[in-house]
Amino acid sequence: MNYFKTALLLAALTGFFLVAGYLLGGQTGLVIAFVAALGMNLFAYWNSDQMVLRMANAQEVGPENAPELFNIVHELVQRAGLPMPRVYLIDEDQPNAFATGRDPEHAAVAATTGLLRYLSREEVAGVMAHELAHVRHRDTLIMTVAATLSGAIGMLASFGGLMGGGRDSEGRPLVNPIVAIAAMILAPMAAMLVQMAISRGREYEADRMGAEICGQPQWLASALAKLHAGTQQIHNEAAERNPATAHMYIANPLALAGGMSSLFSTHPPMEERIARLQSMGGPSYAQSRPQTSSSAPRGGPWGNPASQTPRRGPWG
């Protein structure tokens, strides 16, 4: 997804917020929504990383208390030519991960304890390479701002009834009650669709770039298959409490009932993502990837993935 299209989608989110403010509170609501949108965008720019990390109950770690995760990220940033991000661990059994931060110099990557428990080292490397691809493309700021605006639209709709829309000098409501009710229902849905459009296009590109960073598309493909199975069976309590952040994770952390709910997922179909990665993983692709040194094995700095024993989750 190009930057122009993303800018239009973010502008659309801001527009939904302003329109919802007007429909729910008249001119006063519009002014309040405008000031709130401006303030939230500025806040999200400077504090996006800490805001999302607090929502996820993430704890910063280093080589002394999470050596495997920290070393994997360190090796990957060297291959990608990126600054070393801060590394966080989330005490959640669901295998998942995300990246945040306003730019590569202020980035953070976070993984759940379930990711380290159920995935092999190569699969973890594939997942973290995907997150570093988001950092390289500066997706983390865009996705955090989208999460902030979408969450704000949902809150505005929830409290819309309290705003009342105000009344004119004759005591008549400034906003048609039917229009206000429609705004309370439709504004969050519209925001969710825009958020979905932003996220889906960026996931495909992050998969492709992540495969290039780690040097082995099949590592990420294998990881995505396990993540898909794990997120279907293990709840992520922090994500369920803050659903506006769901699109930041590599795999949708929310419990979906299937059917119509899957149409509104912020992530593209996992089967399609895996298929795209597998199509990249033939011998011609692996042979074309540059090695960090002449002595480095073809599998990358982690060695031959076939020699490693993968860790398996409760789903098989």
- Could you list the active site residues? 131
Looking at residue 292, its pLDDT comes to 34
Q: What is the structure's pLDDT at 141? A: 75
Give me the pLDDT at residue 286, please: 41
pLDDT, averaged in runs of 10, over the chain (316 residues): 61 74 73 78 75 91 96 97 97 96 92 97 97 90 70 64 50 56 65 66 91 95 96 91 84 68 67 94 42 36 42 56
Q: Which of 102, 105, 97 is nearest to 69 (CA)?
A: 97
Print burial letters for 5-40: b (CB count within 10 Å at least 16), e (below 16).
ebeebbebbbebbbbbbbbbbbeebbebbeebbeeb
**Do the Cβ atoms of 64 and 195 come closer than 8 Å?**
no
Q: What is the pLDDT of residue 80?
A: 95
pTM for the full predicted model = 0.73
Residue 34 to residue 97: CA distance in whole angstroms? 33
All structural domains of the chain with their residue ranges = 3-290
Instruction: List Cα–Cα distances, 111 to 57, 91, 98, 166, 225, in angstroms.
Output: 11, 9, 7, 46, 17
pLDDT tens, position by position, 51-74 = 889 989 999 999 999 999 999 999
